[in-house]
Amino acid sequence: DAGVIQSPRHEVTEMGQEVTLRCKPISGHNSLFWYRQTMMRGLELLIYFNNNVPIDDSGMPEDRFSAKMPNASFSTLKIQPSEPRDSAVYFCASSSTRQGGPNQETQYFGPGTRLLVL
Amino acid sequence: EDQVTQSPEALRLQEGESSSLNCSYTVSGLRGLFWYRQDPGKGPEFLFTLYSAGEEKEKERLKATLTKKESFLHITAPKPEDSATYLCAVQAYNQGGKLIFGQGTELSVKP
């Protein structure tokens, strides 16, 4: 089975440019999570969706960040305009509320997108 | 505030030298505690989920245990391929699906 798929795997851009990260969750999973990982702050949740609806976006740093999930098999995280401090690894993860007990979902992570903003 | 603290930050072992990694947590209503392994340049790989104090789970050379305040990841007779960063995360009942991660323990096993 294919795991979580993310693209691009690496992105180098200049400050002020728009960046779009893409994620395809595991087929059949109904929850999708966007995380950011830095040396200083570790892994932090940015936003998560359940059944394509945003549930918690309290981790989104500011208005420059936006995320969408138009259908169950695709999500995007957009940064506009990008800044050097946005440089990090961005992970997408997915889970199913149908696995195990009703409240105990295991999140499976993609390989990440390494973003460098110059 | 929900919080996860892992120790040590880094651990260097000789092959075959058993040890333990610690994950201390404070959370308002633990729904689950998760252990992940992360290799350089890759995403976290799921290892275990623990749900209640006293629970233990094993996989090859790894065993995870849980109390009301902390979890341990015991590594028995480690091999160089066990070298990775081990991440602990908690999920609280009042936080939906959100995982709160610790900073991780970087394990290096030398032959």
Q: A42 to chain B: which residues are within 8 Å by CB?
A: 101-104
pLDDT reading at A101 higher than 90? no
**Interchain pair B98, A45: CB under 8 A:** yes
Beta pairing partners, B88: B35
Q: Which residue has the tokens 């359940």?
A: A50
pLDDT reading at A102 higher than 90? no
Q: Which residue has the tokens 């030298």?
A: B17
Q: Is B14 on the interface with A (CB under 8 A)?
A: no
Amino acid at A2: A
Average pLDDT of the segment spanning A16-27: 97
Q: How confident is the model at residue A103 (pLDDT cuts 50, 70, 90)?
A: very low
pLDDT of amino acid B26? 94
Q: What is the pLDDT of residues A78-88, one digit of tens each?
A: 999 999 999 99
Q: What is the pLDDT of residues A35-63, one digit of tens each?
A: 999 999 999 999 999 999 999 999 998 89
* Percent of chain A surpassing pLDDT 70: 93
A42 contacts B103 by C-beta, under 8 angstroms: yes
Nearest CB among B36, B97, B102 relative to A50 is that of B97
Q: What three-state secondary structure class fits A84?
A: helix
Q: What is the Cα–Cα distance from B15 to A34, expressed in whole angstroms?
A: 36
Which residues of chain B are modeled with pLDDT < 70? none
DSSP element (H, E) containing B40: none
Q: Which residue has the tokens 């420059």?
A: A64
Q: What is the Cα–Cα distance from A85 to A50, expressed in whole angstroms?
A: 28
